[in-house]
Structures are given as structure tokens and as C-alpha cells.
Amino acid sequence: MSEQGFETLLIHAGQQPDKETGAVVPPIHLATTYAQEQVGRHKGYEYSRSGNPTRGVLESALSALEGASAGFAFASGLAAEDAVLRFCRPGDRIVIPNDAYGGTYRLIARVHGEYGIEFAPVDLSDLDAVAAALETRTRLVWAETPTNPHLRIADIGSLSRLAHERGARLVVDNTFATPYLQRPLALGADVVVHSMTKYLGGHSDVVGGFVATNDEEAAERVGFLQNAAGAVPSPFDCYMVLRGMKTLAVRLDRQCASAASIASFLAEQPAVSEVLYPGLDSHPGHEIAKAQMSQFGAMVSFILAGGEAAALRVAAATKLFTLAESLGAVESLIEHPARMTHLSVAGSALEVDPGLIRLSVGLETLDDLLADLGAALAKA
């Protein structure tokens, strides 16, 4: 990572005023094709799927934030994941978290699984279990930390040592933490993936994905796939992510502080049997989170003592927390993973407790959020 501070990088990395006009924000380049002086002689762009200047600015900016030598933007988080999963050949194995995001599980089990890729769901906080699951044909260890929706913490450094001993790559989905809170490549990961749809975009108005790496072979393959399979984001979407990303640090500072207060509040509510938040001393991953994250994030999950019926009542009762999928934006959201974001893992080893509620804490006034939750919990 460069010498400059993270907030400086958010505003300036990869982004100089436009050379021709002085515009201080990157232009949205809509051209699909570029004039060539002679056959094969051009200014670096030929066709917008292969390379686009607005996308290029986003790729430079987010690579710098992750401390990566290469980065590739995709049309969604799952499109980015799909490119990385294509490192695997039939018969290869992937170790995945036993509470991976439902869409990641579906992509691995029901798309890549159809082509002979095998996978082993493991609790990544149990390093003995990870070591036992690693076989010679394990090509990838796939980690999320914090996980969605249980907010479990995996030790990135230890996982990378285990993966590398067996010749596998460690991929970290850094969507929940963002490079502001955690930089997996510096901790030993080989590849970082993102859903830019969440905190990076930050305003619930753009879908996108990203792959960042310092591994030349991986970069070469992902760059090839970005063009060959073509799941690229539009120039406008790239601009939207760049715009949102500039305020990532100030947004997350406030959101993390509010999430910590909300977690403490929930821990005192009789209707709540368990609060899952890595910032709480009681969280089993608290010490590792403290060591590898700068703050504990703005996602909070909790389990209702009254089970699924109580969870559904609470999810329907909040007024400021909007009942909706997704996360990471300025407005607070509430959802019921078992029936919403994680429905695709129903009946699998990754099934989510139906009494669990997930909150994405936004930027509203904290007292209003606490009052909203308090009123909803009274109906649990």
C-alpha cells in the first residue's frame, strides 16, 4: 500500500483531474469503440468490453485501496466470484464457509458443481476442521469474514498458511469489511472479491463486483475471463461506485459506531436470546477481529428467543429499518435471512436459524434507530 492515508486514497487514487478539461470527477466514457490510427495502433482502448476508461479509473482506485497490483470490475459480486471459481477444473475441490452467502453457495453448488467441482462446507473459525478438509485436489479456500449472516470471524493469516501448505489459494470475500476495515492481501490472502453493491457503492443504487490480487497468474486469468466471458459493468455503474466510494470512511465510521451501540442495546433485551456482533467481548471471534480489522463493521445479527414467529413479527414491525435484502448503504435495513437472502441454502449444511434477524445499520440518528428496534421488539 502506498504511503498516503486511506481517506486520501479514497479521493485521489487513480483519479487525477481530466487532462483535457480539468474536470475533477472522471468522465463517463460511453463509447463502445475507439478510433485507431493504423491497424493495431491506438491510445490503449479498442472496444469497451475489453477496456473502458471509466472502468479503468475504478479498477486503479479500488486496487490501490486493497493494496493490490491488479483489479478487475465486474457486473455484480457473483460475476466477480464466478471468474475466480473458474480457476477450478473438474475434480478440483473448494473449501467453503459453512455459512457462506447464499448466492455464493448456489453458484458453487448448483453452477460449478454441475461441471464436476466439489466443495466442502467447513466452520472456518475451526482451523483443525479446515486442515482436515484440505485435500490434494483443493484448489481454493473460500473465506468470508465477517460471514453473512452469522458474522463469524475467520483468521485470514492462519487460513492462508494452511491453504498455501497444500498448494491452494485463499480467496477472501471482503464485502462486509471493505478495505477500510480489513485488507486481506496484506494478511496473506491471494485474491479478494467484493460485491461493490454494498458498502463500496453505499447508496443502494448500483450493482457491481470486483476481484483484486497481487498474484500475477491469477490476475492474468481473471483479466482474460473479464474480457472473454464479458460480465463487465457499464461505465455509468463504474462512475456510481467511484462516487459512492469517496465517502466510504466517513460513512463506515458512523455506521460502525451505531452498530456497536445497537449490539449492546440488543444484548440487554429479554426478547433476544443471542446477539452476533464481532465487537462484543462475548463473540468467539472478537480477539481475531480486533487483530485483523480496524473496526467491527456495521452488520448486526440477533436471534429471537421466540424463534421464527417472533423474528417474522419483528422484521415486519420496524419503521425506520426497511424490510429489504442487501446491505451496506446509508439507509438501515432489516431482513430474515432464512426466508430471504439465504433461502437458497435451505435444507443444506448452511441452513440459517429461522429465528435469526440481520440488520444493516445505516446513517440515521442512533436514538431513532434504537427507538424503532425497541418498539418492534415489544411485538416479538
In the bound complex, what is the minimum distance in angstroms from residue 207's beta carbon to ligand PLP?
5
In the bound complex, what is the minimum distance in angstroms from residue 100's beta carbon to ligand PLP?
8
Task: Give the separation between CA 142 and CA 163, rounded to whole angstroms.
Answer: 10
**Would you count residue 237 as binding ligand PLP (CB under 6 A)?**
no
Question: Where is 119: in which H helix or E strand?
Answer: strand 118-122
Nearer to ligand PLP, 110 or 319 (CB): 110
Which of the residues 34, 49, 246, 313 is marked catalytic?
49
In the annotation, is 190 catalytic?
Answer: no
What x/- string results for residues 258 through 297 when contact with ligand PLP is judged by CB under 6 A? ----------------------------------------
Task: Give the separation between CA 183 and CA 176, rounded to whole angstroms.
Answer: 12
**Would you count residue 191 as binding ligand PLP (CB under 6 A)?**
no
**Would you count residue 173 as binding ligand PLP (CB under 6 A)?**
yes
In the annotation, is 173 catalytic?
Answer: yes
Residue nearest to ligand PLP (CB): 77
Is the separation of the CB atoms in 120 and 95 below 8 Å? yes
Sites for ligand PLP among residues 297-316 (CB under 6 A): none
DSSP reduced 3-state for 306: coil
Closest Cα partner for 141 from 188, 194, 195, 103? 188
Q: Return the C-alpha cell found at 279.
A: 465487537
Nearer to ligand PLP, 66 or 317 (CB): 66
Closest Cα partner for 2 from 170, 136, 186, 233? 186
**Would you count residue 197 as binding ligand PLP (CB under 6 A)?**
yes
Q: Return the C-alpha cell found at 286.
A: 472478537
Name residue 360's beta-bridge partners.
299, 333
In the bound complex, what is the minimum distance in angstroms from residue 223's beta carbon to ligand PLP?
20
Phi, psi of 345 (to 5 degrees): -105, 5
In the bound complex, what is the minimum distance in angstroms from residue 288's beta carbon to ligand PLP?
18
Task: Give the separation between CA 75 and CA 194, rounded to whole angstroms.
Answer: 11
Of 209, 244, 279, 362, the one binding ligand PLP (CB under 6 A) is 209
Whose grid coordinates read 466443495? Answer: 119
**Would you count residue 174 as binding ligand PLP (CB under 6 A)?**
no
Is the separation of the CB atoms in 218 and 169 below 8 Å? yes
Of 66, 92, 144, 190, the one binding ligand PLP (CB under 6 A) is 144
Whose grid coordinates read 463473540? Answer: 283
Burial class (CB in 10 A: 0-12, 13-18, 19+), 243: middle
What x/- string results for residues 68 through 107 when contact with ligand PLP is judged by CB under 6 A? --------xxx----------------------x-xx---
In the annotation, is 198 catalytic?
Answer: yes
Nearer to ligand PLP, 208 or 377 (CB): 208
In the annotation, is 253 catalytic?
Answer: no
| Total chain residues near ligand PLP (CB under 6 A) | 15
**Would you count residue 148 as binding ligand PLP (CB under 6 A)?**
yes
Which of the residues 173, 190, 237, 372 is marked catalytic?
173
Longest pairwise C-alpha distance within the chain: 74
DSSP reduced 3-state for 96: strand
Q: What are the residue numbers of the active site?
A: 49, 101, 173, 198
Binding site for ligand PLP (CB under 6 A): 76-78, 101, 103-104, 144, 148, 173, 175-176, 195, 197, 207, 209
